[in-house]
Amino acid sequence: MDRYRHSRTPSQSSPISVPISLKLHLLLPIFTVLTAFGPGFQSIITFTWLWFTLSIFYIRHITRWWYIFFYYMFVNIGTLIAFMVTMKAEVSHAYALTFAVGMVINLLGLTSLLMDRFAQRVFDSKGWARVMTFPCVWTGLWTLFTYNWILGDWGNYAFVFLGMEEIMQLASFTGIGGINFILAWSGPIGSDILVNWLNTHVYPINSETSSTNTTGSTGIDDTIAEVDHISSTDDILTTQNNRRQRRPNFTIPTLFSSLFIYLTIIFLVITYGSIRMSTALIPFFQRSVAEFAPTSLLNVGCVIRQEQIIPDNSVYIQTTQELAKNGSKIILWTEGSGTMKNQSELDAVISSIKNISSTYNAYIGVAYIFLGESKETSYNKLTVISSSGEIVMDYQKSHLVPFLETVRFRSGKAELQTYDSKEYGVIGGAICFDFNFPGFINQASSKKVNLMLEVSNTWGNYFSYLLFKFFSSIYIYICPVGVLHSRSNAIRSIENGFTLIRCNGDGISGVWGPQGQSFHSIPTTNLQGSVSGQTSFTFQVPLYSRVNTVYGIFKDTFGWICLGMSGIFLICMIILEKGSLRWRTFVKKWF
C-alpha cells in the first residue's frame, strides 16, 4: 500500500532482486525485434501488440532510472532497422539521420511510458485513470506531433492496421487518433494480464515457498510477491496476502472490468467497420447489382516520368495527347515529370496542354519542377487544366520532404485548392508528402471534395537527378517507401470520404474509394524496362459520390481530447503526490 492506502503496483514495490532484474532485462533485445517489425516497411501487427504490453511491463518493473536509457536505445536500434533503407546508400550519414529521426519519434513512446509508471504510483489500482493514462498520453502526443512535426504522420503506429480494413474504418470517425488509442490501450491491459499470469502460474506465492536464499536476498517467489503486489485491470488481477496462494478470480463483477470494456470497444469498432465495408460493396439491404452498378466508368491515364528523358518535356506532352485521344478524361503526370528552367519554357508546355484539354475534353494535371536560380525561385507544382482549357488549380507543394526537397525548393501555401466541376463534382489536388499531414488534407471535407488527385514520386531516381545535379555529395537510390506511403495515403480517403486517384512514378499508383477500398493498385517505377517503361498506363474506375464522415466534421478532436486528458491526469498526479489532503480526497473520488 502507498501512503494514500492504494494497492501498490510493480513499479512501486520493494526493489527487484538481482535474479528477477536480470530476467527482466532479457526483454531488451526482444524490443529491438518487435520494433523492427512494428510500424515500418515489414509490419507484423502481433509484434506491435506485444511491444505495447512488454514495454509497459518493463518500464513498470525497472528499479533504476538508467535502465530507461537501455530500453530507449534498444527501441531506437529497432526503428533504425525498420526504416534503414528510407534514404538508402549514399546520402551522407543516411543511417545516422534515420537513427536520429527514430530517437525523436521514440521520445513519444518513452514519455507515455513514464507517465504510465507515475500513474501506477498515485492512482487507485481499481480506478479508471490508472489504465487510461497511457493510451491518452500516447494518442495526445501523436496528435500534437503529427500537426507540428516535419514528417507529419510518417512512422505512426496506427499504420500497423493497414491490412485490417474493418479497424481502419474507425478513421472515418476519429481519424488515426482513435486507432492509436485502441492500440495503446492494449498495453496496460496486456501488462496486467501478464503480471497476473506470472503470479498465478510461474511464481505462485505460498507459505512454503517464501524463504530467504543463501545470499540473504529474498527468494524468487517472495520477490514476485513483493514486486507484484499487483495493480490490476480493475478486478481481473487480484491483490491478495503475500503468504496466500494466488488464484484466478473471474467472478461476475470481474466481467465488468477494463478488459471487458476494452474487448467490447474492439467488438464495436470491428462491427462499425464491417458495416461500412459491407454496405460499400452491396448497399443495404441486399440490393441487386443492377441497382448500384455505375452507369459509366471514368477513364484515367497516368503519365509516368522516365529517368532517361528528364529534360525532354515534349515526350510527356506527346504521351498526354495519346492518352486523351484514346479516351482518358482525367490525365495526371507523376510528380516532377516536367522540368522547367524558365518562364517561357513553362508557358510553352502549359499552352500545349491547354490545347489538348480543350480538344479532347479532358482534365489534365501537369506536375513539374521549376528550377530557378535559387531556392526562393524553385518549386514543385501541380497545375490542373479543365476540359475547357482553363487553369483551375495552380498548387505549389506546401509540405516538402525534409533533407531532400527542403534544400532546393520553396514551399507553397498550405491551403487545399479545389474546383467545382460539372462532370465530377468538387475536385481537389495535392502532391505526395502533403498526404502525410491530415490537418492539411482534411480541408477536403469542409470543401466537399468528391475527387482528390494525387501526383507522387516516392524518392526514386527523380531525386537522384535533381539532387545530384545541384549537390554532388548526395545521391538517392530506389527505396521501398512507395508501398507504405500509398497505403497510408489511402487513409485520407477513409477520413474524408472522397475518391482518391494516385499517379506515382516510383511506388504504387491506383484508385481508392470513399471507404478506402482499392479499385486499382499497381506498382509503377520510373526505371526503364519496368511495367511503366511504356511511359503511361490507363485504368477505368467507377466514380461514387463523396461520403460524409464524422471525422470530416470534428477533424482530430478525439486526439486533442486525449491530449487535454493527459494534462488533467498530470495535474491530478501532482496533486496526489504533493497536494493537500482536501485536494487528494477530491481527486481520489473521481480518479
pLDDT at site 291: 80
Q: Other CB atoms closer than 10 Å to residue 290's CB: what's the count?
A: 6
| DSSP state, residue 476 | -
pLDDT at site 527: 56
Which amino acid, 429? G
Residue 507 half-sphere exposure toward CB, CA atoms < 13 A: 29
Cell numbers for 232:
490490476
pLDDT at site 20: 57
For residue 382, count CB atoms less than 10 angstroms from its CB and return exposed for 0-12, middle for 13-18, buried for 19 or more.
Answer: buried
Instruction: Report the alpha-carbon distance of residue 56 to residue 58 in Å, rounded.
Output: 5
Contact 130/120 with Cβ under 8 angstroms? yes
Give whole-number Cα distances, 276 to 83, 171, 183, in Å. 33, 12, 21
pLDDT at site 458: 82
For residue 83, count CB atoms less than 10 angstroms from its CB and return exposed for 0-12, middle for 13-18, buried for 19 or more.
Answer: buried
Residues near 387 by Cβ (< 8 Å), separated by ≥ 6? 329, 357, 358, 361, 362, 363, 423
Cell numbers for 397:
507543394
Cell numbers for 199:
503470479
Instruction: Report the alpha-carbon distance of residue 487 to residue 229 in Å, rounded.
Output: 44
Cell numbers for 588:
481520489
User: Which residues, in sequence order, are bridge partners of residue 370?
Assistant: 340, 379
Q: Other CB atoms closer than 10 Å to residue 128's CB: what's the count?
A: 14
> Where along the chain do the CATH 3.60.110.10 domains lie?
295-543
Does the structural domain 295-543 have CATH classification 1.20.1260.10?
no
Distance of CA 442 to the CA centre of its chain: 15
Instruction: Report the alpha-carbon distance of residue 433 to residue 371 in Å, rounded.
Output: 19
pLDDT at site 387: 96
pLDDT at site 298: 92
pLDDT at site 256: 57
Give whole-number Cα distances, 577 to 68, 134, 238, 285, 572, in Å. 22, 18, 25, 57, 9
Contact 569/338 with Cβ under 8 angstroms? no
- Residuewise pLDDT in 10s, the chain (591 residues): 444 444 444 333 333 333 456 789 999 999 999 999 988 888 899 999 999 999 999 999 998 899 999 999 999 999 999 988 776 544 557 788 889 999 999 999 999 999 999 999 999 888 899 999 999 999 999 999 999 999 999 989 999 998 899 999 999 999 999 999 999 999 999 999 998 888 888 776 554 444 333 333 233 333 333 444 444 444 444 444 444 444 444 444 444 588 899 999 999 999 999 999 998 878 888 888 888 777 788 999 999 987 665 558 999 999 999 999 999 999 999 999 999 999 999 999 999 999 999 999 999 999 999 999 888 899 999 999 999 999 999 999 999 998 788 888 999 999 999 999 999 999 999 999 999 999 999 999 999 999 999 999 886 554 444 444 444 344 444 567 888 888 899 999 999 999 999 999 888 899 999 999 999 988 887 655 444 456 888 999 888 889 999 999 999 999 999 999 999 999 999 999 998 999 999 998 888
pLDDT at site 292: 79
Give whole-number Cα distances, 470 to 306, 372, 427, in Å. 20, 12, 35
Cell numbers for 283:
448497399
pLDDT at site 272: 96
Which amino acid, 478? I
Q: Residue 386, SS3?
A: coil
Place of cell 505549389: 396
Contact 591/572 with Cβ under 8 angstroms? yes
User: Model-level pTM?
Assistant: 0.85
Instruction: Report the alpha-carbon distance of residue 177 to residue 481 in Å, rounded.
Output: 23
CA 188-190-196 angle, 5° bins: 105
pLDDT at site 308: 60
3-state helix, strand, coil in the chain (%, to 5): 50, 15, 35
| DSSP state, residue 366 | E
Q: Other CB atoms closer than 10 Å to residue 150's CB: what's the count?
A: 13
Instruction: Report the alpha-carbon distance of residue 217 to residue 314 in Å, rounded.
Output: 81
Instruction: Report the alpha-carbon distance of residue 574 to residue 59 in Å, rounded.
Output: 20
Cis before 285 (ω within 30): yes
Strands of the sheet containing 425-431, edge to edge, are: 417-421, 425-431, 451-456, 499-504, 506-512, 518-525
